[in-house]
């Protein structure tokens, strides 16, 4: 039986965790900051210390994360986050540095920022990287501002960004926020950028083409050289959305492929935890001709000293307060240094191996969108089977929860699909078990669709109306 009681419902007047000697004339409320005193909270819960601990541990167990189970969320790349990196980032000199400290006192921290930017430039094949942006989408916005500044500096008016129809929603959104118009480039029948359509869409007013490679179907753009040629003839800048970089880590580099700007999502390629709204990082790298336009501050090294310097008049200026989300940079840097070039390459190859192995186990029953060509993730199409069983994609996804897994991404980038991406560190046993479960649910879909329709049955909260839950969350206990 799941304990669903709130802490207020468990409250018992005869209990308390701490005794603040009120009876001896000591009133704790006089010694606390007055803004923290909650006078309106009449029913402050009274519980024993042990029960308080149990209550919150119980709540924490209702969460699902990479530390509780397999989390094959396609597109999002749930990287393994070694715990040692968390520990390093919390070390006193890192965690308690003040951003206004004098440079002399924080040489070690500046060294981390400097070397992280250098390593990221090496990994992406870019000439210079700014570690300022706070997320992948923020990296996109920063990169697009850089491109805008580049053309303004040349005295050219270019107000269009090309985005393939398979692109992540943040691409057109960032282009819009940066003040550009968005024009969509179609995919061909095999899921690659249509060269024919690209030829039609390139005009003198196009500033950049944004590409994710491998793309959101898990396909490496085989025409990348042609695409680069077509664009560069018109000085159209090639923007690399690095969300899938983990698939080519140490194998190929966007800079070598001809991209002018590239962002990395450190939480997708270089092992930092996925948000929960917490700090993220989306460093953006550029080729030489765009260096001067990057966000203003950078760390330089000369005369055996690290310094923070400005990039000068052409810089787009600040994109955030201070320098970067430092704790995230440290975690990634620790990961890079620990693995080294060989290890990073291996993590990329393992991501490919795991996805291909899982795809192999599923391909006989499931219709995989790109059967002969899987990179680090793959897309399963369920349109027909679901229709035949009178079910929706959510029914399939929610049933997966009953077996103790996080569901894959649904309905992206195609309707009624599941997008599966196993973490590179998952063992063969985990993948075998997951494949077995997926095949079982496939049979349930055919033979016992009600099991899917009524799922999940084993989670603390059953099926919620996603939209109402997001728009009208009930977060407050009603004392009436």
Ligand X SMILES: *Cc1c(COP(=O)(O)O)cnc(C)c1O
* Interface with ligand X (CB under 6 A): 75, 135-137, 168, 170, 212, 216, 241, 243, 265, 280, 282
Q: Which of helix, strand or coil describes residue 301?
A: strand
Q: What DSSP element (H or E) covers 10?
A: helix 7-10
Q: How far is the CB of 134 from ligand X (least distance, A)?
A: 9
Q: How far is the CB of 390 from ligand X (least distance, A)?
A: 32
Q: Which is nearer to ligand X, 112 or 210 (CB)?
A: 210
Query: Of the candidates 195, 166, 177, which has an alpha carbon nearest to the alpha carbon of residue 140?
Result: 177
Q: Which is nearer to ligand X, 241 or 424 (CB)?
A: 241
Q: How far is the CB of 348 from ligand X (least distance, A)?
A: 16
Query: Of the candidates 249, 244, 235, which has an alpha carbon nearest to the alpha carbon of residue 263?
Result: 244
Q: Which is nearer to ligand X, 417 or 452 (CB)?
A: 417
Q: How far is the CB of 437 from ligand X (least distance, A)?
A: 25
Residue 199 CA, chain-centre distance (Å), reads 32
Q: Which residue is nearest to ligand X (CB)?
A: 136
Q: From residue 236, how far is each of 4, 153, 159, 174, 197 by CA, in Å?
A: 57, 15, 11, 17, 16
**CA-to-CA distance for 325 and 133, rounded, in angstroms?**
8
Q: How far is the CB of 282 from ligand X (least distance, A)?
A: 5
Tokens of 102: 């004098």
Give the position of tokens 């985005």: 163
**CA-to-CA distance for 330 and 351, rounded, in angstroms?**
23
Instruction: Work out the number of other CB atoms within 10 angstroms of the CB of residue 22.
Output: 10
206-212 and 160-164 beta bridge pairing: parallel
Q: How far is the CB of 108 from ligand X (least distance, A)?
A: 27
Asked whether the beta carbons of 148 and 205 are under 8 A apart, the reply is no
Query: Of the candidates 124, 422, 140, which has an alpha carbon nearest to the alpha carbon of residue 249?
Result: 124
Q: How far is the CB of 421 from ligand X (least distance, A)?
A: 10
Q: Which is nearer to ligand X, 75 or 187 (CB)?
A: 75
Q: Which is nearer to ligand X, 140 or 148 (CB)?
A: 140
Query: Based on the number of CB atoms within 10 Å of its own CB, is 387 exposed (0-12), middle (13-18) or buried (19 or more)?
Result: exposed
Asked whether the beta carbons of 141 and 174 are under 8 A apart, the reply is yes
Q: How far is the CB of 268 from ligand X (least distance, A)?
A: 6
Q: Which is nearer to ligand X, 244 or 389 (CB)?
A: 244
Q: How far is the CB of 164 from ligand X (least distance, A)?
A: 11
Query: Based on the number of CB atoms within 10 Å of its own CB, is 308 exposed (0-12), middle (13-18) or buried (19 or more)?
Result: middle
Q: Which is nearer to ligand X, 282 or 456 (CB)?
A: 282
H helices within 273-322, ranges in order?
Answer: none
**CA-to-CA distance for 372 and 357, rounded, in angstroms?**
12
Q: Which is nearer to ligand X, 108 or 278 (CB)?
A: 278
| DSSP secondary structure string for all residues of 317-375 | B-SSSSS--HHHHHHHHHHHHHHHHHHHHHHHHHHHHHHHHHHHHHTTTSEETTTT--S
**CA-to-CA distance for 241 and 163, rounded, in angstroms?**
11
Tokens of 148: 């805008």
Q: How far is the CB of 172 from ligand X (least distance, A)?
A: 11
Q: Which is nearer to ligand X, 306 or 335 (CB)?
A: 335
Q: Which is nearer to ligand X, 265 or 332 (CB)?
A: 265
Q: How far is the CB of 404 from ligand X (least distance, A)?
A: 25
Q: Which is nearer to ligand X, 148 or 241 (CB)?
A: 241
């Amino acid at each position: 039986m799941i304990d669903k009681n709130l802490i207020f419902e468990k409250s018992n007047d005869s209990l308390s965790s701490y005794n603040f000697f009120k009876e001896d004339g000591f009133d704790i409320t006089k010694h606390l900051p007055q803004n923290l005193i909650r006078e309106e909270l009449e029913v402050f819960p009274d519980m024993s210390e042990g029960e308080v601990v149990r209550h919150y541990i119980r709540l924490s167990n209702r969460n699902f994360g990479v530390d509780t189970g397999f989390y094959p969320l396609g597109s999002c790349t749930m990287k393994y986050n070694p715990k040692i990196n968390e520990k390093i980032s919390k070390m006193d000199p890192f965690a308690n540095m003040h951003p206004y400290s004098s440079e002399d006192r924080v040489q070690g921290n500046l060294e981390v920022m400097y070397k992280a930017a250098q390593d990221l430039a090496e990994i992406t094949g870019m000439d210079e990287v700014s570690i300022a942006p706070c997320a992948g989408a923020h990296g996109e916005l920063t990169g697009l501002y850089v491109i805008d500044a580049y053309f303004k500096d040349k005295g050219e008016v270019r107000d269009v960004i090309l985005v393939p129809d398979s692109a992540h929603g943040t691409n057109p959104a960032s282009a819009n926020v940066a003040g550009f118009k968005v024009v969509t480039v179609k995919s061909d029948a095999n899921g690659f950028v249509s060269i024919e359509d690209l030829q039609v869409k390139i005009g003198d007013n196009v500033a950049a083409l944004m590409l994710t490679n491998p793309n959101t179907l898990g396909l490496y753009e085989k025409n990348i050289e042609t695409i680069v040629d077509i664009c560069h003839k018109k000085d159209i800048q090639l923007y690399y959305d690095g969300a899938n970089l983990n698939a080519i880590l140490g194998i190929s580099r966007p800079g070598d492929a001809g991209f002018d700007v590239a962002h990395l999502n450190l939480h997708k390629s270089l092992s930092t935890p996925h948000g929960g709204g917490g700090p993220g990082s989306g460093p953006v790298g550029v080729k030489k001709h765009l260096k001067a336009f990057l966000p203003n501050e950078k760390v330089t090294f000369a005369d055996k000293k690290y310094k923070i310097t400005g990039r000068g008049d052409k810089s787009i200026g600040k994109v955030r307060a201070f320098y970067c989300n430092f704790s995230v940079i440290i975690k990634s840097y620790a990961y890079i240094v620990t693995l080294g070039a060989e290890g990073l390459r291996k993590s990329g190859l393992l991501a490919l191996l795991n996805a291909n192995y899982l795809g192999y186990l599923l391909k006989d029953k499931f219709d995989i969108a790109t059967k002969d060509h899987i990179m680090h993730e793959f897309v399963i199409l369920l349109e027909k089977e679901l229709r035949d069983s009178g079910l929706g994609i959510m029914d399939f996804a929610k049933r997966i929860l009953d077996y103790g897994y996080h569901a894959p991404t649904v309905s992206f980038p195609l309707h009624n699909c599941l997008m599966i991406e196993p973490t590179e560190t998952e063992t063969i046993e985990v993948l075998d078990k997951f494949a077995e479960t997926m095949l079982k649910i496939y049979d349930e879909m055919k033979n016992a669709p009600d099991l899917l329709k009524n799922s999940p049955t084993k989670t603390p909260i059953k099926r919620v109306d996603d939209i109402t839950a997001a728009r009208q969350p009930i977060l407050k206990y009603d004392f009436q």
